[in-house]
A = this chain, B = another copy of it.
Amino acid sequence: ALVEQWWPRVMRHGDDAEVLAALRGLPVLITAGPTREALDPVRCLTNHSSGKMGYALAQALTAAGAEVTLIAGPTALPRPALDQFVAVESALDMYAQVLARVAECAIFIAAAAVADYRPASPLPTKFKKHTADLTLHLTRNPDILADVAARIAPPFTVGFAAETVTTVEELADLATAKRLNKRLNMIAANRVGGDSGGFERDDNALLVLWDGGNHHLPLQSKTQLAAALTILIAERYALSTASQTSRPAPRA
């Protein structure tokens, strides 16, 4: 019922219902939003992710009949109408929640903008400002998406890449390198900076790449983008389960 109510409003072409049928009843894990890495009880390192893309994907996949679990960092968005919603703060929190659920999921979509680094030694009390300069030591966070894709029996993995590049060719090169390096099934890339959409905006454009193909989704609302991306995911997922050789090969 949901699929009939929701999809006609965002999609115009007709034969998507058949494609989307591949998602029905499928357990899907989605991450969304930023993570917050504490320096002390008050200060944090974070990023400008609004969570809108991940939330829109959770809505689109739910409408398509998938069993969605959304693991989200702190956002200003209203709590979504999902049975499985897990709120997290830090990258380590998100990592633990993903690992606890990934074995059961068929598709993993990493839409969260996970902080790459966290303060090496967060302070238990608010530090006092005494000095003109301060040196902050950061340590690398786990790469949640790469670790999921490197599992022995990984789910179908979809990553995102936000890059400050000027041309679509540079974007495609960086995103393809990321896809191959992390062994992802699919990557959705966008340019950040300028007027190219993305973080904290309601619209975005995405270049979606997979092994042997790509598709450009022009600037549109994140709701429409999530619908279009869900159809691409459904198509590629169906093909990957139909073939034993669909997983990208490890790099030589």
Interface residues of A (CB under 8 A from B): 36, 39-48, 76, 113, 115-117, 120, 124-126, 129, 131-140, 162-164, 192-193, 199
Contact = CB atoms under 8 A, between A and B. Distances in A.
Contacts of A124: 164
A45 B45 CA distance: 4
A134 B48 CA distance: 20
Q: How many copies does the complex hold?
A: 2
B135 A139 contact: no
A140 B131 contact: yes
A125 to B, nearest CB: 4
Nearest to A76: B76
- Majority secondary structure, A binding face: loop
B44 A47 contact: yes
A48 to B, nearest CB: 6
B43 A192 contact: no
28 contacts: A36-B48, A39-B45, A40-B164, A41-B193, A42-B47, A42-B162, A42-B192, A42-B199, A43-B45, A44-B46, A44-B47, A45-B45, A46-B46, A117-B129, A117-B134, A125-B193, A126-B164, A126-B192, A131-B140, A132-B139, A132-B140, A133-B140, A134-B138, A134-B139, A134-B140, A135-B137, A136-B136, A136-B138
